[in-house]
Every structure is written in C-alpha cells, then in structure tokens.
Amino acid sequence: MVLRERTHGGETDADLYARGTATLLAAWEEYARGARDAAVQRLPGVAAAVFPHGPERGVYNNAVLVGGLLRPERAAALDAMEEAYAAAGITRFAAWVHEDDVAMRADLEHRGYTLDETTRAMGLTLDELRVPRPALDVAAPDWAEYLRVIEVPVDLLADADHAAFHVVVARLGTESVAAAMAYDHRDDCGIYNVGTLSHARRRGLGTAVTALLLHEARDRGRRTASLQATPMAERLYATLGFRDLGRILEYVPER
C-alpha cells in the first residue's frame, strides 16, 4: 500500500498504520481468549479472526489482508482465509483491505466479493495531543453498563478478562449515556466502540470520552493511539488530532 511519508513525533503514516493494525489484531486475540473456540489465525498474507459461536460470531469474524503481495501470494492468502472460515462453519465474514491495495481488491472482486462497509484508519502521536483533559462525570467502569451504552448484546465477551480493557462510561445527570474502550498493545493504544445513546448526542460526549482515553493512555506511557473511524465519526477524531491513514474496505463473500 502507499501511505504518505509525513513524519510527526517521529512516526510516519506508515508507522502509525502498522501500529494500529498490530493493536487491532492483539485486541481481537484478547477477545478470542474469552470466546468459545475462537482464535486469530495468523496465516501467510492474512490474519483471520474466527469466532464460531455466540454473540461474538456476529461481530468479530473479520480478516486483515496484508498489502503489497505478489499475485501467487494474494491467491494463497485468500485461499487460507476462506479455508479458515469454512472449517469453522462460518459463511459470513469480512475481508479487510487498504484502499491503496488495488490488486487485492481486484482479486476479491474476481472471486465474487462485494464491498459492504468502509472505515478510515486513523492514528495519533500522543506527544502531539493538544486538547485539554475533559472534565467528565464518569461512572464506575462497569462492563455491563458499557455494553448497554454502546448497544451490543449483554453477553458479548462475557468470559473475557475485562481488566485487560480500559473502559470509560460518562454520565449525563444520573444516567450513563456515553462510553468507549481502549486496549494497549506495546506503545500503542487502540480506541474502540465509542458510542453515545441517541437522546444524548450532539453534546460532545463522544469527543470527550475519546479525549479522556487519550490522556489516560499517555499517562500509562503509550506513545501513539489508533482507531478505525466510521464515516460519521471521521471529523470528530480529526478534531482531536488523528491523522487520516486511508480507508479500510470491508469485502464480504456472496451469500
């Protein structure tokens, strides 16, 4: 893939993208440790998160394809990905590819995959964090309340080690209305699942919980932060200083 070689805080865009991908895969591995028969299979040219059961099956069956492979390597990576999911009885999964990897995109489309969703990879060097630490009314970092606020199944990752994650739940009055989670991998902090209940939106709470997680990550000694932004949230993260690292295209197989 081709990323601009801008350097800020000693990190190029390519550095930040690689860090973010490594953190994402490490987070998926942590999820897998708390889900039945789940695993992240690191195969030649692809890392496939395989979650055969429970609510996790509908959320985490994603594969990250390595960029810049030669044609035989691309074919082998796609074969390995498909075999991993077929062996687990999984027919619905998403193959993630960076938008710059035109050859892999063409190979996926040739196999009948269609583009389903896109997110934008974004990264930040934490010594460049300029937004002030927000004064938030935060609740105790309760896992069940976090799941309720981000509106996912109440038994998601029920058996995971919740202490491995850094959860922030923000209140409006007496109600918990916004939440997000962070996961540290080496020097990077991944920010995931930022959500605000519909009646509490447009108050800056999503920005505030993200900013708080960034400050806490810097306090823990992390050097960078990473995330995958939905189109709706890209501007929010840009205001916090996150750099655009290109779109991630999510391809799904024919049903």
State the DSSP string of 63-84.
Answer: EEEPSS--HHHHHHHHHHHHHH
Same domain, 44 and 118: yes
What residues does 196 pair with on adjacent strands?
178
Q: What is the residue range of 165's domain?
A: 125-245
Q: Which of 105, 122, 139 is the last residue of a domain?
A: 122
Helices and strands, counts by H and E, the chain: 6, 12
**Residue 250 in domain:** no
pLDDT of residue 10: 78
Tokens of 192: 């995931």
**Residue 101 in domain:** yes
Quick one: DSSP state of residue 220? T
Degrees to nearest 5, angle at CA 192 with 88 and 2: 85
CATH number for the domain spanning 163: value is 3.40.630.30
Counted domains in the chain? 2
Same domain, 129 and 87: no
pLDDT of residue 182: 98
Q: How far apart are CA 113 and CA 94, in angstroms?
A: 9
Degrees to nearest 5, angle at CA 16 with 19 and 133: 100
Q: Which of 122, 147, 182 is the last residue of a domain?
A: 122
**Residue 253 in domain:** no
Q: Reduced to 3 states, what is the DSSP secondary structure of residue 130?
A: coil
Same domain, 11 and 117: yes
Are residues 67 and 98 in contact, defined by beta-carbon separation less than 8 angstroms?
A: yes
What is the identity of the amino acid at 133? R
Q: How far apart are CA 245 and CA 2, in angstroms?
A: 10
pLDDT of residue 210: 98
Same domain, 147 and 131: yes
User: How do residues 47-84 score in pLDDT, each as one tens digit?
Assistant: 999 999 999 999 999 999 999 999 999 999 999 999 99
Tokens of 50: 């395989």
E strand or H helix at 172: strand 166-172
Same domain, 80 and 158: no
Q: Which of 70, 104, 122 is the last residue of a domain?
A: 122
**Residue 231 in domain:** yes
The label of the residue with tokens 């916090």 reads 240
The alpha helices in 88-231, defined as continuous H runs, are 102-110, 143-150, 205-219
pLDDT of residue 4: 57
Q: With a cut of 70, which residues of the chain have pLDDT below it?
A: 1-9
Same domain, 98 and 80: yes
pLDDT of residue 11: 87
